[in-house]
Amino acid sequence: MHLLTGARRSYDWGSTTSMPEFLGTDPDGKPFAELWLGAHPTGPSTITGPKGTEGLDERVAQDRLGNLGQRVDAAFGRLPYLVKLLAPAKPLSIQVHPTRELAAKGFLEEERQGIPLDDPHRTFKDTNNKPEMVYAISHFEGLAGFRPRQEIALLLEEIAGPLEPARDRLSIGPGEHGMRLMLETLVGLSQADIQSVLEIAASLAPAHPHPVVRAACGTVADLATEYPGDVGAVVSLVLNRVHLAPGESMFLADGVPHAYLRGFGLEVMANSDNVLRLGLTSKHIDIEAMLGAVDFSSSGVDVDSTPKDAAAHTFRPPVPDFALSIARPGETGNDSITLPGNGPRILVCLDGRITAATDHCPEEQTITRGQSLFVPTSDGNITVHGTGIVAQAFVP
């Protein structure tokens, strides 16, 4: 087992206080948006070993079979997931992630064109897809998945004005074509039309008789305050507003548009950094690539929760890259819990004080809130004891 030091990301939407409070460190006044725990080459965690400090990606590459195991190495050839602690204080960009096929095609094309990876107009950063799930540590809010089609039609009808063309195009057939035309119309609005929609929504938000319209326009008004004149505030009309209580999670498949708004959570995703944006950002928006990545057949979002009386619970999204288990030793009468799964695992203490022991590692490791461990396949099964909550990412 190796104690991890995560890679900090100080994006401007990050909270200046939430992450330091969780980690038990002093804030430095700068946004602390994400802490990456994993082996992504652009931000690997580090460990301290016989050779001193080294990246987890380097350590895994030195002994792929010992760290990954034959099953994971054959399927992925690397650690296939990335874990993040996530602390948004204001909304992230509305975004969508491409399928593996689209990511590979787009990445190779941009490589052929010679566009540097750090170019702000670069769209594809790697060849992988990026399904992800977020587990709420505190109350967590976001936008996720398309609203039911009838709700979208209602909102476009009630706001009307510059949204009438989008309403008309939505009605072109019952399938995905109308949805695509509708979204393409929204992201193509002129600045004057965007401002008009924002003003209409702000006027409807306080007292519209229909609760869906009132709430959706309230979200538009909130986002317009954070991102004045941004088309993403308009796009939010067609997405569900989601509230997660602590212990709840939601899974976001390839092609599902989403944005995190505020809260503190743990995110697990495929080991990729491919993000295609729809709005709420000053970064590059590749409209053609974004529209090609959106799954217009998707609707709604499923929220899963940890049973309150369960000593352990596993979230298993329908992807091969990752699963997440939550264990509560000492809190439910179970002083010692053997965690599910094998292969390469990352443990994160979410509360209390947790001690981890494995079949083949002679020394136990104790972690407190905010600390994390990488456990290679060669260490065998993991048993945790103590009192608190520990999250484990693993390959199902």
pLDDT averaged per 10 residues, the chain (length 396): 96 96 96 96 87 91 96 96 97 94 94 91 90 97 96 96 96 87 96 97 95 97 95 97 96 96 97 90 88 90 87 94 95 84 97 96 94 97 96 97
| pLDDT the model gives residue 174 | 73
| pLDDT the model gives residue 228 | 95
| pLDDT the model gives residue 385 | 95
| pLDDT the model gives residue 38 | 96
Print the SS3 string covering the chain.
Answer: CEECECEEECCCCECCCHHHHHHCCCCCCCCCCEEEECCCCCCCCEEEECCEEEEHHHHHHHCHHHHHHHHHHHHCCCCCEEEEEECECCCCCEEECCCHHHHHHHHHHHHHHCCCCCCCCCCCCCCCCCCEEEEECCCEEEEEEECCHHHHHHHHHHHCHHHHHHHHHHCCCCCHHHHHHHHHHHHCCCHHHHHHHHHHHHHHCCCCCCHHHHHHHHHHHHHHHHCCCCHHHHHHHHEEEEEECCCEEEEECCCCCEEEEECCEEEEEECCCCCEEEECCCCCCCHHHHHHHCCCCCCCCCEEECCCCCCEEEECCCCCCCEEEEECCCCCCCCEEECCCCCCEEEEEEEEEEEEEECCCCCCEEEECCCEEEECHHHCCEEEEEEEEEEEEECC
| pLDDT the model gives residue 332 | 67
- Residue 296 falls inside a structural domain: no
Known catalytic residue at 277: yes
* Domain identity same for 197 and 319: no
Among 78, 277, 328, 369, the one annotated catalytic: 277
* Domain identity same for 156 and 274: no
What's the domain range around 372? Answer: 312-394
* Domain identity same for 247 and 102: yes
- Residue 301 falls inside a structural domain: no
What predicted TM-score, i.e. pTM, was given to this entire model? 0.93
* Domain identity same for 221 and 169: yes
**Domain count of the fold of the chain:** 3
| pLDDT the model gives residue 273 | 85
* Domain identity same for 132 and 278: yes
